Structure 1
Amino acid sequence: MEINYNEEDKYYLAKKKVENIKGFYGNLASFIVVNTVLLVVNLLTSPDHLWFYWPLMWWGLGVLFHGLKVFEILPTLGKDWEERKIKEIMDKEKENKNKWQ
Protein backbone atom coordinates (compact mmCIF):
# COMPACT_ATOMS: atom_id res chain seq x y z
CA MET A 1 0.00 0.00 0.00
CA GLU A 2 1.79 3.07 -1.26
CA ILE A 3 0.83 6.34 0.37
CA ASN A 4 1.40 9.60 -1.47
CA TYR A 5 2.32 12.35 0.96
CA ASN A 6 2.20 16.05 0.21
CA GLU A 7 5.08 18.33 1.22
CA GLU A 8 3.46 19.27 4.54
CA ASP A 9 3.02 15.61 5.49
CA LYS A 10 6.60 14.83 4.48
CA TYR A 11 7.84 17.72 6.62
CA TYR A 12 5.78 16.51 9.59
CA LEU A 13 7.11 12.95 9.25
CA ALA A 14 10.71 14.16 8.92
CA LYS A 15 10.27 16.43 11.96
CA LYS A 16 8.84 13.54 13.98
CA LYS A 17 11.77 11.32 12.97
CA VAL A 18 14.26 14.01 14.02
CA GLU A 19 12.46 14.35 17.38
CA ASN A 20 12.68 10.57 17.86
CA ILE A 21 16.41 10.59 17.06
CA LYS A 22 16.92 13.51 19.45
CA GLY A 23 15.05 11.57 22.15
CA PHE A 24 17.28 8.56 21.57
CA TYR A 25 20.45 10.63 21.92
CA GLY A 26 19.07 12.16 25.12
CA ASN A 27 18.40 8.67 26.46
CA LEU A 28 21.89 7.55 25.44
CA ALA A 29 23.54 10.58 27.09
CA SER A 30 21.58 9.97 30.31
CA PHE A 31 22.57 6.31 30.20
CA ILE A 32 26.26 7.16 29.91
CA VAL A 33 26.27 9.85 32.61
CA VAL A 34 24.15 7.99 35.17
CA ASN A 35 25.95 4.68 34.73
CA THR A 36 29.34 6.40 35.01
CA VAL A 37 28.20 7.92 38.30
CA LEU A 38 26.89 4.53 39.47
CA LEU A 39 30.21 2.91 38.59
CA VAL A 40 32.15 5.52 40.59
CA VAL A 41 29.76 5.23 43.56
CA ASN A 42 30.01 1.45 43.49
CA LEU A 43 33.80 1.45 43.33
CA LEU A 44 34.11 4.04 46.12
CA THR A 45 31.58 2.53 48.52
CA SER A 46 31.84 -1.22 48.02
CA PRO A 47 34.54 -2.26 45.57
CA ASP A 48 34.41 -5.85 46.80
CA HIS A 49 30.71 -6.15 45.82
CA LEU A 50 30.10 -4.98 42.26
CA TRP A 51 26.49 -4.15 41.50
CA PHE A 52 26.79 -1.32 38.94
CA TYR A 53 26.50 -3.72 36.01
CA TRP A 54 22.85 -4.60 36.78
CA PRO A 55 21.39 -1.17 35.93
CA LEU A 56 24.01 -0.86 33.18
CA MET A 57 22.82 -4.12 31.61
CA TRP A 58 19.04 -3.55 31.84
CA TRP A 59 19.06 0.12 30.92
CA GLY A 60 21.54 -0.70 28.15
CA LEU A 61 19.10 -3.24 26.77
CA GLY A 62 16.41 -0.55 26.77
CA VAL A 63 18.73 1.90 24.99
CA LEU A 64 19.57 -0.78 22.44
CA PHE A 65 15.92 -1.46 21.60
CA HIS A 66 15.19 2.27 21.57
CA GLY A 67 17.97 2.73 18.99
CA LEU A 68 16.78 -0.21 16.91
CA LYS A 69 13.31 1.28 16.79
CA VAL A 70 14.37 4.86 16.09
CA PHE A 71 16.78 3.92 13.31
CA GLU A 72 14.33 1.28 11.98
CA ILE A 73 16.84 -1.58 12.06
CA LEU A 74 14.41 -4.29 13.17
CA PRO A 75 11.62 -4.75 10.63
CA THR A 76 9.05 -5.55 13.31
CA LEU A 77 9.60 -2.13 14.87
CA GLY A 78 9.77 -0.06 11.68
CA LYS A 79 7.34 1.89 9.53
CA ASP A 80 6.78 -0.97 7.09
CA TRP A 81 5.39 -3.14 9.87
CA GLU A 82 3.14 -0.29 11.05
CA GLU A 83 1.79 0.29 7.55
CA ARG A 84 1.17 -3.43 6.98
CA LYS A 85 -0.65 -3.69 10.32
CA ILE A 86 -2.77 -0.61 9.56
CA LYS A 87 -3.72 -2.06 6.16
CA GLU A 88 -4.54 -5.40 7.78
CA ILE A 89 -6.80 -3.75 10.36
CA MET A 90 -8.48 -1.57 7.73
CA ASP A 91 -9.11 -4.61 5.52
CA LYS A 92 -10.65 -6.52 8.46
CA GLU A 93 -12.90 -3.57 9.29
CA LYS A 94 -13.99 -3.30 5.66
CA GLU A 95 -14.65 -7.05 5.53
CA ASN A 96 -16.69 -6.95 8.75
CA LYS A 97 -18.66 -3.93 7.54
CA ASN A 98 -19.46 -5.61 4.22
CA LYS A 99 -20.45 -8.83 6.00
CA TRP A 100 -23.21 -7.10 7.99
CA GLN A 101 -24.68 -5.00 5.18
Structure 2
Amino acid sequence: MPVTSTTALQNEATLAFAHVRRIKQFYVYLTHHVVVTTMLFIVNILTSTAYIWAVWRALGWRGGVVSQALAIFDKVPFLTAD
Protein backbone atom coordinates (compact mmCIF):
# COMPACT_ATOMS: atom_id res chain seq x y z
CA MET A 1 0.00 0.00 0.00
CA PRO A 2 1.59 3.30 -1.05
CA VAL A 3 2.03 6.03 1.52
CA THR A 4 -0.34 8.87 0.83
CA SER A 5 0.44 12.46 1.63
CA THR A 6 -2.16 12.40 4.41
CA THR A 7 -0.50 9.40 6.04
CA ALA A 8 2.92 10.99 5.70
CA LEU A 9 1.64 14.19 7.30
CA GLN A 10 0.08 12.22 10.13
CA ASN A 11 3.38 10.41 10.72
CA GLU A 12 5.29 13.70 10.76
CA ALA A 13 2.74 15.20 13.15
CA THR A 14 3.05 12.19 15.45
CA LEU A 15 6.85 12.50 15.47
CA ALA A 16 6.62 16.25 16.10
CA PHE A 17 4.24 15.75 19.03
CA ALA A 18 6.53 13.08 20.49
CA HIS A 19 9.51 15.44 20.23
CA VAL A 20 7.58 18.27 21.89
CA ARG A 21 6.53 15.86 24.66
CA ARG A 22 10.19 14.92 25.25
CA ILE A 23 11.16 18.60 25.39
CA LYS A 24 8.39 19.28 27.91
CA GLN A 25 9.53 16.33 30.04
CA PHE A 26 13.08 17.69 29.95
CA TYR A 27 11.97 21.07 31.28
CA VAL A 28 10.01 19.37 34.08
CA TYR A 29 13.15 17.39 34.92
CA LEU A 30 15.25 20.57 34.82
CA THR A 31 12.80 22.33 37.14
CA HIS A 32 12.99 19.42 39.60
CA HIS A 33 16.77 19.63 39.46
CA VAL A 34 16.80 23.35 40.26
CA VAL A 35 14.25 23.08 43.09
CA VAL A 36 15.82 20.04 44.78
CA THR A 37 19.36 21.38 44.43
CA THR A 38 18.32 24.73 45.90
CA MET A 39 16.64 22.99 48.83
CA LEU A 40 19.74 20.87 49.44
CA PHE A 41 21.97 23.93 49.48
CA ILE A 42 19.62 25.61 51.97
CA VAL A 43 19.65 22.54 54.23
CA ASN A 44 23.44 22.34 53.90
CA ILE A 45 23.94 26.01 54.81
CA LEU A 46 21.48 25.83 57.73
CA THR A 47 23.01 22.70 59.24
CA SER A 48 26.72 23.15 58.61
CA THR A 49 28.79 25.65 56.68
CA ALA A 50 32.06 23.85 57.39
CA TYR A 51 31.64 21.52 54.41
CA ILE A 52 29.40 22.21 51.42
CA TRP A 53 28.38 18.67 50.49
CA ALA A 54 25.44 19.76 48.30
CA VAL A 55 27.82 20.80 45.53
CA TRP A 56 28.72 17.15 44.83
CA ARG A 57 25.07 16.20 44.52
CA ALA A 58 24.45 19.18 42.23
CA LEU A 59 27.40 18.36 39.96
CA GLY A 60 26.39 14.71 39.66
CA TRP A 61 22.82 15.48 38.75
CA ARG A 62 23.92 18.26 36.40
CA GLY A 63 25.79 15.67 34.32
CA GLY A 64 22.52 13.82 33.77
CA VAL A 65 20.71 17.03 32.86
CA VAL A 66 23.37 17.96 30.32
CA SER A 67 23.41 14.53 28.69
CA GLN A 68 19.60 14.53 28.46
CA ALA A 69 19.63 18.02 26.94
CA LEU A 70 22.22 16.99 24.35
CA ALA A 71 20.10 14.00 23.35
CA ILE A 72 16.78 15.87 23.21
CA PHE A 73 18.05 18.89 21.31
CA ASP A 74 20.04 16.69 18.86
CA LYS A 75 23.43 18.20 19.67
CA VAL A 76 25.22 14.84 19.73
CA PRO A 77 23.98 12.52 16.95
CA PHE A 78 24.90 9.21 18.61
CA LEU A 79 22.72 10.00 21.65
CA THR A 80 19.52 10.22 19.61
CA ALA A 81 17.22 7.31 18.79
CA ASP A 82 17.28 7.91 15.02
TM-score normalised over the length of structure 1: 0.72
RMSD: 1.5
Runs of 4+ in 1 over 3 A off after TM superposition: none
For residue 59 of structure 1, report the CA deviation from its aligned partner: 0.5
Structure 2: segments with no counterpart, 5+ residues:
none
Trace 1:40-55 onto structure 2 (pairs within 5 A): 40-55=42-57
Q: Corresponding residue for 1:10? A: 12
- The count of corresponding residues between Structure 1 and Structure 2 is 77
For residue 10 of structure 1, report the CA deviation from its aligned partner: 0.5
Q: Corresponding residue for 2:58? A: 56
Match of 2:37 among 35, 38, 44: 35
Larger radius of gyration: 1
For residue 78 of structure 1, report the CA deviation from its aligned partner: 2.7
Residue type of the partner of 1:10?
A: E
Alignment of 1:66 onto 2:58? no
Amino-acid identity (%): 34
Q: Structure 1 CA distance, aligned partners of 2:64 and 2:12?
A: 29
